[in-house]
Copies of this chain bind each other. A is one copy, B any other.
Amino acid sequence: MDYQQILEEIQQEIIPLIGKGTIADYIPELACVDKNKFGMYLLLLDDSAYEVGDVQELFSIQSISKVFMLALIISHIGEKVYERVNVEPSGDPFNSLVQLEYEGGIPRNPFINSGALVITDMMLTHLENPKEELLRFVQELAGDTSIAYNEKVANSEKAIGFKNAAMVNLMKSFGNIHHDVEDVLDLYCTFCSIEMSCAQLASAFRVFANHGTGVIDTKKYITKSQYKRITAIMQTCGFYDEAGEFAFRVGLPGKSGVGGGIAAMLPSHYSIVVWSPGLNEKGNSLVGLKALELFTTKTGTSIF
Protein backbone atom coordinates (compact mmCIF):
# COMPACT_ATOMS: atom_id res chain seq x y z
CA MET A 1 0.00 0.00 0.00
CA ASP A 2 1.32 3.43 -0.83
CA TYR A 3 1.06 4.98 2.60
CA GLN A 4 2.87 8.15 1.64
CA GLN A 5 0.34 8.90 -1.08
CA ILE A 6 -2.52 8.21 1.26
CA LEU A 7 -1.15 10.63 3.83
CA GLU A 8 -0.73 13.25 1.16
CA GLU A 9 -4.29 12.76 -0.03
CA ILE A 10 -5.48 13.20 3.52
CA GLN A 11 -3.42 16.36 3.90
CA GLN A 12 -5.28 17.78 0.89
CA GLU A 13 -8.70 16.61 1.98
CA ILE A 14 -8.57 18.11 5.46
CA ILE A 15 -7.62 21.58 4.19
CA PRO A 16 -11.21 22.90 4.47
CA LEU A 17 -11.21 21.94 8.18
CA ILE A 18 -7.89 23.52 9.10
CA GLY A 19 -8.42 26.34 11.59
CA LYS A 20 -11.85 25.04 12.60
CA GLY A 21 -12.64 24.07 16.18
CA THR A 22 -11.55 25.75 19.36
CA ILE A 23 -8.21 25.91 21.13
CA ALA A 24 -8.06 24.67 24.74
CA ASP A 25 -7.55 28.27 25.85
CA TYR A 26 -8.42 27.61 29.47
CA ILE A 27 -4.75 26.77 29.77
CA PRO A 28 -3.15 30.13 28.95
CA GLU A 29 0.06 28.58 27.71
CA LEU A 30 -1.82 26.53 25.15
CA ALA A 31 -3.97 29.42 23.97
CA CYS A 32 -1.23 30.83 21.77
CA VAL A 33 -0.68 27.69 19.68
CA ASP A 34 -1.15 28.22 15.95
CA LYS A 35 -4.53 26.75 15.02
CA ASN A 36 -3.40 26.00 11.46
CA LYS A 37 -0.84 23.42 12.46
CA PHE A 38 -1.27 19.88 11.18
CA GLY A 39 0.98 16.87 11.28
CA MET A 40 0.47 13.14 10.76
CA TYR A 41 3.04 10.45 11.32
CA LEU A 42 2.71 6.73 10.59
CA LEU A 43 5.20 4.24 11.96
CA LEU A 44 5.07 0.57 11.08
CA LEU A 45 6.49 -2.28 13.09
CA ASP A 46 9.02 -2.85 10.29
CA ASP A 47 10.36 0.67 10.97
CA SER A 48 9.10 2.20 7.79
CA ALA A 49 7.69 5.65 8.48
CA TYR A 50 5.52 8.10 6.56
CA GLU A 51 4.69 11.66 7.34
CA VAL A 52 2.99 14.85 6.24
CA GLY A 53 2.94 18.32 7.79
CA ASP A 54 4.39 19.58 11.04
CA VAL A 55 5.53 16.24 12.38
CA GLN A 56 8.72 17.50 14.01
CA GLU A 57 7.08 20.34 15.91
CA LEU A 58 6.62 19.86 19.64
CA PHE A 59 3.13 20.03 21.12
CA SER A 60 1.71 19.43 24.57
CA ILE A 61 0.56 15.82 24.71
CA GLN A 62 -1.65 16.54 27.74
CA SER A 63 -4.00 13.59 28.43
CA ILE A 64 -2.11 11.27 26.13
CA SER A 65 0.41 11.07 28.97
CA LYS A 66 -2.26 9.17 30.92
CA VAL A 67 -1.51 6.09 28.80
CA PHE A 68 2.16 6.22 29.70
CA MET A 69 1.34 6.84 33.35
CA LEU A 70 -0.90 3.78 33.40
CA ALA A 71 1.67 1.65 31.60
CA LEU A 72 4.42 2.69 34.02
CA ILE A 73 2.49 2.08 37.21
CA ILE A 74 1.04 -1.20 35.96
CA SER A 75 4.56 -2.37 35.12
CA HIS A 76 5.41 -1.77 38.78
CA ILE A 77 2.41 -3.00 40.72
CA GLY A 78 0.31 -4.91 38.19
CA GLU A 79 -3.42 -5.42 38.54
CA LYS A 80 -3.41 -3.89 42.02
CA VAL A 81 -3.93 -0.62 40.17
CA TYR A 82 -7.54 -1.61 39.60
CA GLU A 83 -8.36 -1.77 43.28
CA ARG A 84 -8.43 2.03 43.33
CA VAL A 85 -9.61 2.87 39.83
CA ASN A 86 -12.25 1.16 37.71
CA VAL A 87 -11.95 0.17 34.03
CA GLU A 88 -15.35 1.18 32.63
CA PRO A 89 -16.45 4.12 30.49
CA SER A 90 -17.84 7.09 32.38
CA GLY A 91 -20.65 8.27 30.15
CA ASP A 92 -20.06 11.75 31.45
CA PRO A 93 -18.15 14.83 30.44
CA PHE A 94 -14.53 14.16 31.27
CA ASN A 95 -14.24 16.09 34.49
CA SER A 96 -17.53 15.48 36.28
CA LEU A 97 -17.65 15.06 40.03
CA VAL A 98 -21.11 13.57 40.24
CA GLN A 99 -20.17 10.02 39.39
CA LEU A 100 -17.10 10.21 41.57
CA GLU A 101 -19.20 11.13 44.60
CA TYR A 102 -21.83 8.54 43.76
CA GLU A 103 -19.25 5.79 43.44
CA GLY A 104 -17.41 6.46 46.67
CA GLY A 105 -14.34 8.18 45.34
CA ILE A 106 -13.37 5.40 42.91
CA PRO A 107 -12.84 6.91 39.46
CA ARG A 108 -14.46 5.20 36.51
CA ASN A 109 -11.20 4.65 34.62
CA PRO A 110 -7.57 5.77 34.50
CA PHE A 111 -8.08 8.03 31.47
CA ILE A 112 -10.42 10.57 33.02
CA ASN A 113 -8.77 13.24 35.15
CA SER A 114 -9.87 11.77 38.47
CA GLY A 115 -8.50 8.37 37.49
CA ALA A 116 -5.17 9.77 36.39
CA LEU A 117 -4.96 11.72 39.65
CA VAL A 118 -5.28 8.46 41.58
CA ILE A 119 -2.62 6.91 39.32
CA THR A 120 -0.39 9.88 40.15
CA ASP A 121 -0.99 9.25 43.84
CA MET A 122 0.02 5.59 43.36
CA MET A 123 3.17 6.69 41.56
CA LEU A 124 4.08 8.87 44.54
CA THR A 125 3.85 5.76 46.68
CA HIS A 126 5.52 3.17 44.50
CA LEU A 127 8.15 5.03 42.48
CA GLU A 128 11.18 6.61 44.01
CA ASN A 129 11.21 9.67 41.81
CA PRO A 130 8.04 9.55 39.76
CA LYS A 131 8.61 12.82 37.92
CA GLU A 132 11.96 11.66 36.62
CA GLU A 133 10.90 8.09 36.05
CA LEU A 134 7.89 8.85 33.87
CA LEU A 135 9.98 11.11 31.68
CA ARG A 136 12.70 8.51 31.42
CA PHE A 137 10.07 5.89 30.56
CA VAL A 138 8.67 8.00 27.72
CA GLN A 139 12.16 8.89 26.50
CA GLU A 140 13.14 5.24 26.48
CA LEU A 141 10.00 4.19 24.61
CA ALA A 142 10.60 6.94 22.05
CA GLY A 143 14.34 6.38 21.94
CA ASP A 144 14.87 10.08 22.37
CA THR A 145 16.31 11.70 25.49
CA SER A 146 15.46 15.22 24.36
CA ILE A 147 11.82 14.83 25.38
CA ALA A 148 11.02 17.11 28.31
CA TYR A 149 8.33 18.60 30.48
CA ASN A 150 7.28 22.19 29.88
CA GLU A 151 7.23 23.75 33.33
CA LYS A 152 5.41 26.84 32.12
CA VAL A 153 2.51 24.74 30.86
CA ALA A 154 2.54 22.73 34.07
CA ASN A 155 2.39 25.86 36.21
CA SER A 156 -0.21 27.42 33.97
CA GLU A 157 -2.41 24.35 34.36
CA LYS A 158 -1.79 24.12 38.07
CA ALA A 159 -2.82 27.73 38.59
CA ILE A 160 -6.29 27.24 37.10
CA GLY A 161 -6.91 23.60 37.95
CA PHE A 162 -9.62 24.11 40.56
CA LYS A 163 -11.80 21.33 39.26
CA ASN A 164 -8.89 18.92 39.48
CA ALA A 165 -8.25 20.19 43.01
CA ALA A 166 -11.91 19.60 43.81
CA MET A 167 -11.60 16.02 42.60
CA VAL A 168 -8.43 15.24 44.52
CA ASN A 169 -9.95 16.64 47.70
CA LEU A 170 -13.16 14.72 47.17
CA MET A 171 -11.26 11.48 46.62
CA LYS A 172 -9.10 12.22 49.65
CA SER A 173 -12.29 12.60 51.70
CA PHE A 174 -13.11 9.04 50.60
CA GLY A 175 -9.60 7.84 51.46
CA ASN A 176 -8.58 7.21 47.85
CA ILE A 177 -5.74 9.75 47.82
CA HIS A 178 -2.86 8.95 50.18
CA HIS A 179 -0.49 11.84 49.54
CA ASP A 180 -0.66 15.55 50.04
CA VAL A 181 -3.20 17.19 47.74
CA GLU A 182 -0.71 19.75 46.44
CA ASP A 183 1.90 17.12 45.70
CA VAL A 184 -0.55 15.08 43.66
CA LEU A 185 -1.74 18.12 41.70
CA ASP A 186 1.80 19.36 41.04
CA LEU A 187 2.97 16.04 39.73
CA TYR A 188 -0.16 15.47 37.66
CA CYS A 189 0.16 18.83 35.94
CA THR A 190 3.81 18.12 35.27
CA PHE A 191 2.92 14.80 33.66
CA CYS A 192 0.39 16.51 31.38
CA SER A 193 2.99 19.02 30.24
CA ILE A 194 5.21 16.60 28.32
CA GLU A 195 5.98 17.97 24.89
CA MET A 196 6.58 15.69 21.96
CA SER A 197 6.45 15.80 18.20
CA CYS A 198 4.21 13.53 16.16
CA ALA A 199 7.31 11.53 15.25
CA GLN A 200 8.42 11.10 18.84
CA LEU A 201 4.97 10.20 20.05
CA ALA A 202 4.48 7.63 17.30
CA SER A 203 7.77 6.03 18.33
CA ALA A 204 6.78 5.86 21.96
CA PHE A 205 3.25 4.69 21.25
CA ARG A 206 4.46 1.90 18.99
CA VAL A 207 5.19 -0.22 22.06
CA PHE A 208 1.42 -0.76 22.32
CA ALA A 209 1.13 -1.86 18.69
CA ASN A 210 3.86 -4.35 19.56
CA HIS A 211 1.88 -5.78 22.51
CA GLY A 212 4.01 -4.15 25.18
CA THR A 213 7.45 -5.01 23.88
CA GLY A 214 9.88 -2.45 22.50
CA VAL A 215 10.38 -2.82 18.75
CA ILE A 216 14.04 -1.89 18.69
CA ASP A 217 15.26 -2.71 22.18
CA THR A 218 12.92 -5.77 22.39
CA LYS A 219 12.50 -4.97 26.06
CA LYS A 220 9.26 -6.24 27.60
CA TYR A 221 7.88 -3.05 29.12
CA ILE A 222 4.53 -4.56 30.10
CA THR A 223 3.15 -8.08 29.91
CA LYS A 224 0.78 -9.17 27.19
CA SER A 225 -2.06 -9.21 29.68
CA GLN A 226 -1.22 -5.68 30.84
CA TYR A 227 -1.11 -4.59 27.21
CA LYS A 228 -4.56 -6.07 26.66
CA ARG A 229 -5.95 -4.24 29.65
CA ILE A 230 -4.51 -0.89 28.55
CA THR A 231 -5.73 -1.40 25.01
CA ALA A 232 -9.22 -2.30 26.20
CA ILE A 233 -9.32 0.90 28.25
CA MET A 234 -8.08 2.95 25.30
CA GLN A 235 -10.79 1.41 23.17
CA THR A 236 -13.66 2.10 25.58
CA CYS A 237 -12.42 5.25 27.37
CA GLY A 238 -9.75 6.91 25.25
CA PHE A 239 -11.75 9.75 23.75
CA TYR A 240 -13.66 11.48 26.53
CA ASP A 241 -17.37 11.16 25.70
CA GLU A 242 -16.68 10.14 22.13
CA ALA A 243 -15.36 6.60 22.49
CA GLY A 244 -18.25 5.12 20.52
CA GLU A 245 -17.97 7.68 17.77
CA PHE A 246 -14.21 7.13 17.51
CA ALA A 247 -14.59 3.36 17.45
CA PHE A 248 -17.01 3.74 14.55
CA ARG A 249 -15.21 6.39 12.55
CA VAL A 250 -11.65 5.27 13.14
CA GLY A 251 -11.79 1.80 14.64
CA LEU A 252 -8.43 1.92 16.41
CA PRO A 253 -7.54 1.99 20.10
CA GLY A 254 -5.95 5.29 21.05
CA LYS A 255 -5.91 8.34 23.25
CA SER A 256 -6.43 12.02 22.61
CA GLY A 257 -5.37 15.15 24.46
CA VAL A 258 -6.66 18.71 24.59
CA GLY A 259 -3.38 19.85 23.07
CA GLY A 260 -4.84 18.55 19.81
CA GLY A 261 -2.88 15.33 19.60
CA ILE A 262 -4.29 11.86 18.97
CA ALA A 263 -2.18 8.72 19.24
CA ALA A 264 -3.65 5.47 17.92
CA MET A 265 -2.44 2.08 16.82
CA LEU A 266 -3.37 -1.08 14.97
CA PRO A 267 -2.12 -4.01 17.04
CA SER A 268 0.71 -5.90 15.31
CA HIS A 269 0.90 -3.32 12.54
CA TYR A 270 1.48 0.35 13.26
CA SER A 271 1.22 3.36 15.48
CA ILE A 272 -0.07 6.62 14.09
CA VAL A 273 -0.11 10.13 15.52
CA VAL A 274 -1.93 13.16 14.26
CA TRP A 275 -1.78 16.67 15.66
CA SER A 276 -3.97 19.69 14.95
CA PRO A 277 -4.90 22.08 17.77
CA GLY A 278 -8.55 22.89 16.93
CA LEU A 279 -10.87 20.80 19.13
CA ASN A 280 -14.44 19.66 18.52
CA GLU A 281 -17.05 20.18 21.24
CA LYS A 282 -16.17 16.90 22.94
CA GLY A 283 -12.55 18.01 23.34
CA ASN A 284 -10.97 15.86 20.61
CA SER A 285 -8.92 17.25 17.71
CA LEU A 286 -11.41 18.02 14.97
CA VAL A 287 -8.97 17.64 12.10
CA GLY A 288 -7.18 14.77 13.83
CA LEU A 289 -10.35 12.74 14.08
CA LYS A 290 -11.17 13.34 10.42
CA ALA A 291 -7.65 12.54 9.30
CA LEU A 292 -7.65 9.23 11.16
CA GLU A 293 -11.06 8.37 9.76
CA LEU A 294 -9.79 8.98 6.26
CA PHE A 295 -6.68 6.93 6.97
CA THR A 296 -8.48 3.81 8.19
CA THR A 297 -11.03 4.10 5.39
CA LYS A 298 -8.43 4.51 2.66
CA THR A 299 -6.20 1.74 4.03
CA GLY A 300 -9.08 -0.51 4.97
CA THR A 301 -7.40 -1.11 8.33
CA SER A 302 -9.29 -1.26 11.60
CA ILE A 303 -9.57 -3.65 14.51
CA PHE A 304 -13.04 -4.60 13.32
- What residues make up the interface of A, taking CB atoms closer than 8 Å to B? 86-92, 96-99, 101-102, 108-109, 162-163, 165-170, 172-173, 181, 227-229, 231-233, 235-237, 241-245, 247-248, 251, 253, 267, 302-304
Contact = CB atoms under 8 A, between A and B. Distances in A.
A84 B66 CA distance: 33
User: Do most interface residues of chain A lie in helix, strand or loop, or is the interface mixed?
Assistant: helix
Given A88-B91, A303-B303, 14 more contacts: A86-B244, A87-B245, A96-B101, A97-B101, A109-B244, A165-B165, A165-B166, A165-B169, A165-B181, A166-B173, A169-B169, A231-B304, A232-B247, A233-B244
B236 A244 contact: yes
Chain copies in the assembled complex: 4
B243 A97 contact: no
Contact of A304 (B97, B228, B302): B228
A32 to B, nearest CB: 22
A11 to B, nearest CB: 23
A251 B236 contact: no
Most B C-beta atoms less than 10 A away, residue of A88, A181, A243: A88
A78 B236 CA distance: 24
A242 B233 CA distance: 11
A87 B243 CA distance: 9
Nearest to A164: B169
A304 B267 CA distance: 6
A245 B88 CA distance: 7
Contact of A89 (B101, B172, B236, B267): B236
Contacts of A167: 166
A89 B245 CA distance: 10
A235 B89 CA distance: 11
20 contacts: A87-B245, A88-B89, A88-B241, A88-B243, A89-B90, A89-B244, A162-B181, A165-B165, A165-B166, A166-B167, A227-B304, A228-B304, A231-B247, A232-B244, A232-B304, A233-B247, A235-B235, A235-B236, A236-B244, A303-B303
